[in-house]
Structures are given as C-alpha cells and as structure tokens.
Amino acid sequence: MHQIPAPPKGTGVARLLQRIANDLDEFDVYALSFKKEAFTNHDERKFIQIDPSSFKYRFYYQLILLIPLWLNKKLWGKDNARFIAYYLCFGSVLRKVKPHIVLTSMHLDAFRLAYLQYPKAKHIFYFRSSDIYLEGFKKLEFLARNATRIFTLTQESSDFLIQKFPFLKLKIEVISNAVDLDIFNANKGSLNRLVNRGLYGISQSDFVLGYAGRLTLSKGLDQILECLIKLQEKYKNIKLLIAGSQVNDTVPDVTYHDRIERLLQKVEPGRIVFTGWLDREKMINFYSCIDVGLLLSKQREGHSMFGLECQACGVPVIATTVGGNPEIIVHNKSGFLLSKGKEAEELESYILQLYNNTSLLHAMQVQAVENIKTNFTYDLLLSRITKVLKAL
C-alpha cells in the first residue's frame, strides 16, 4: 500500500512506479495508490489516491470488520481490513476508468482482487522481491493462469515460476530496478566528499564501510559488526557509517536490536557513526563518504537500491549471494560476492583487499559505475516496459 507520488519518507518502490507513470509517454497512464499523506503538487487525474477518510473506504472497512477473519482470508486472500477495503475501492476505480491494461505491483492478493473485479483488462503482475515461492501453490497457479504477462524483479523468481509451472506457457519479463543517475553519480558525490565526511567526523584518511537499511536480522548487520570488532585492533582507520533507524521499522525486531546493542558495546568509540534515517536526496552525501558498501542480506533480497546506488556513485559492494544480489553485482569487478557458508572469513578478506590495494579499489569504482550505466538506467527500464506493453 505505497503512496504515489512518494512522500518524503516514501519507499523506493513508490518512487519507481511514480517514474514509470510519468515517463511512459506513449500511453495514458493512471497510478492508483493509498493516500497516507496530503499532497497537492501532483496531477490528481493521473495519480488517483484512495483516501481512507472517504465514505466509500470507511463503508468497506466497517463491512469487512463484520466478517469473520477466516472468511475474509478465504474470500480475499488476506484478513487485513485496511488492505481489503483499499482494493475494493481500487476495483471501483477500474470500472470507472476502464483500462486496457492493469499492472499490479508487489502483492499477489492484490493482483487476484484486481483481476476478479475487472477481468476485461489484460493483467500484468510486477513482483518486486525474490521470494515469490513463499506465496503458495494456489496463488501462484492463479497468477500463472490469468496473467497476460508477469514482470519479475529478479531472474531467480522468473526461473522459479517456469520450473513450477512447466505445463503453462508463462510469459515472463525480468524488469530490473533502475537508478536515477541525475541524483546518484560518482562525479556529484566526489565533489562534496571532504565536506560530507567532515559533517560525520570522518577524516579523509579513514577507510569507510557503509551500510544503509533496516536494523533487522535479515540484513546481516550483526555480521558487519562482528567483522569490524575483529579488524579494529590492527586497523585503526577503518570505520563504519550506518544510515538507518529502528524507529522507522514497521515491526521493529526488538530481540535483534538487543543483540546489536551487545555487539556495539565491544566496538571502540568513534568507529561507528549512525546518521539516522536519511531521505533520498541526502543519501548521495552518505555514498560520497564511504569506500565500500556492505549488503549482507541473509534471507531474501530483490535488486537492492542500496547496492545499485552505491555502484552508481562509484562505490563497490560486498554482498551475499542471496536473491538478486548476484544479478546486480559483477564479482571481482563491481564488487565481491560472498560464498555461502564462508561469509565471515570472506567479508574480512575482501575488505582488506580493497583497504590494502588502492589500484584494485579504483578499478572497482570505475567498473561499478559502468555496470549501472550499462544495465540499470531508467531509460532501459522504461524501454523494456514500453516494448512489452506495445506488444500486447
């Protein structure tokens, strides 16, 4: 339930869908989303927001609350009244607009509701993670039988669907994430590197590791801290810059947070700088400060915007081989991929390779930028989507 256009603390998904809606010039595009914050600086005809204070939404919401949870789950695929009310309103908009194509992002239950409420359209589902296997066979079969096209963020998800339903001629397109190179680029970052480092108390001679994201078990921050603790005695100028805050987590992982706190007590003062949550425009300042990005996803990962934006800013990334990470990072060129089961030892080894070899670091910085320019621009993304839509 992302809001489009994205509010200041909106998600990367919302910003991407906003860009698609604005720039698919060959089509008349409407973007439907859930209203969370009031905005007046957008085209309300193009960006249609379901207002939770509206009569229709409140009517559906109260009606759903009268239905037993198990029955809601059976009828809609979910028992969350807010979600169900939103997509029932979504259906009424579809019947009014009468679109030829409906592209539903993220939630497979949302695809199902959109399809059932307006089956006249050609329906596309845009799955934007790497764990589509968790959706369950019934939901995936409904998708496979009724989607005109399926967009997956990762090749991994595409391969899974093809293997799961070999008897169906699935039409799947891998539509990768994209980076806004007007905001995230190496030249812009390098101009303010010295000033930005000064703001965080980091000297020019420091070798800075960077992490940005939620403080949760799935992101591997504990492994990063354990590595830093090992390195701190011998390497006095290796530091860690962290952008993120548990305050912004929808469901904070309190147990994991306590574990992080215990590790932090073992870290020397001044080794870690917490920036707190940073909005999109300020992330370029973050990237300008760091030498290496760390993406240690443990369970799942799509095409991480952190991993992509790091590379766009000339920052090589060390990452696990989870989800779509191997699809966005070129091992030994734009970064390093950690072997499964050897993450701890290889993380330390790769950090020290870049720390001790400035020529290798510089070469990876150049190749990281080239990787993004070649494979992950908005022009490429829009071209791929346009090609598919015109062929329908």
- DSSP labels, 117-170: H-TTSEEEEEE-SS-GGGG-HHHHHHHHHH-SEEEESSHHHHHHHHHH-TTS--
SS3 (DSSP) at 48 = strand
What are the Cα distances from residue 377, in Å, to 103, 188, 314, 381? 21, 17, 15, 6
pLDDT band, residue 383 (cuts 50/70/90): very high
pLDDT at 390: 93
Q: Which residues of 223-236 are buried (b: 16+ CB within 10 A; e: fewer)?
A: bbbbbbeebbeeee
- The amino acid sitting at 108 is L
**DSSP element (H, E) containing 311:** helix 305-312
Predicted confidence at residue 248, as pLDDT, reads 46
pLDDT, tens digit, 9 for 90 and up, residues 205-244 = 999 999 998 777 778 899 999 999 999 989 999 999 999 7
What is the C-alpha to C-alpha distance for residues 69 and 64, in angstroms, rounded to an integer? 9
**Is residue 260 within 8 Å of residue 381, measured between CB atoms?**
no
pLDDT at 122 over 90: yes
Q: Which residues pair with 48 in a beta bridge?
A: 32
pLDDT over 90 percentage in the chain: 59
Q: Which of 92-101, 136-145, 166-175 has the highest mean pLDDT?
A: 92-101
And the tokens for 322? Answer: 């989870």
Tens of pLDDT, residues 48-84: 999 999 999 999 999 999 999 999 888 887 889 998 9
Nearest to 34 by CA among 64, 10, 59, 66: 10
Taking the C-alpha atoms of residue 304 and residue 324, their distance in angstroms, rounded to an integer, is 8
What is the pLDDT at residue 272? 93
Q: In order of start, what are the domains of the chain with their CATH numbers?
A: 12-179+377-391 (3.40.50.11930), 186-375 (3.40.50.2000)
Lowest mean pLDDT among 1-10, 71-80, 263-272, 297-306: 1-10
Residues 125 and 151 sit within 8 Å (Cβ to Cβ): yes
Report, as an integer, the average pLDDT of 139-154: 92
Instruction: Report which residue type is found at 34.
Output: F
The number of angstroms, rounded, from the C-alpha of 355 to the middle of its chain's C-alpha atoms is: 28
Closest-CA residue to 297 (of 223, 349, 374, 230):
223
AA letter at 205: S
**CA triplet 268, 357, 350: central angle to 5 degrees?**
60
Q: What is the mean pLDDT of the chain?
A: 89
pLDDT of residue 40: 63
Q: In this model, does residue 249 exceed pLDDT 60?
A: no
Instruction: Tell me how far apart the alpha carbons of residues 285 and 287 are, in angstroms, rounded to a whole number.
Output: 6
% of the chain residues with pLDDT over 70:
95
User: What pLDDT score was predicted for residue 253?
Assistant: 61
Higher-confidence position of 207 and 282: 207
pTM: 0.88
The bridge status of strand 272-276 relative to strand 335-338 is unpaired
The pLDDT assigned to 28 comes to 92
Which one, of 298, 288, 282, lies nearest residue 221 by Cα?
298
CB atoms within 10 A of CB 8: 8
Give the SS3 label for residue 207: strand
Q: Is a pLDDT exceeding 90 seen at residue 288?
A: yes
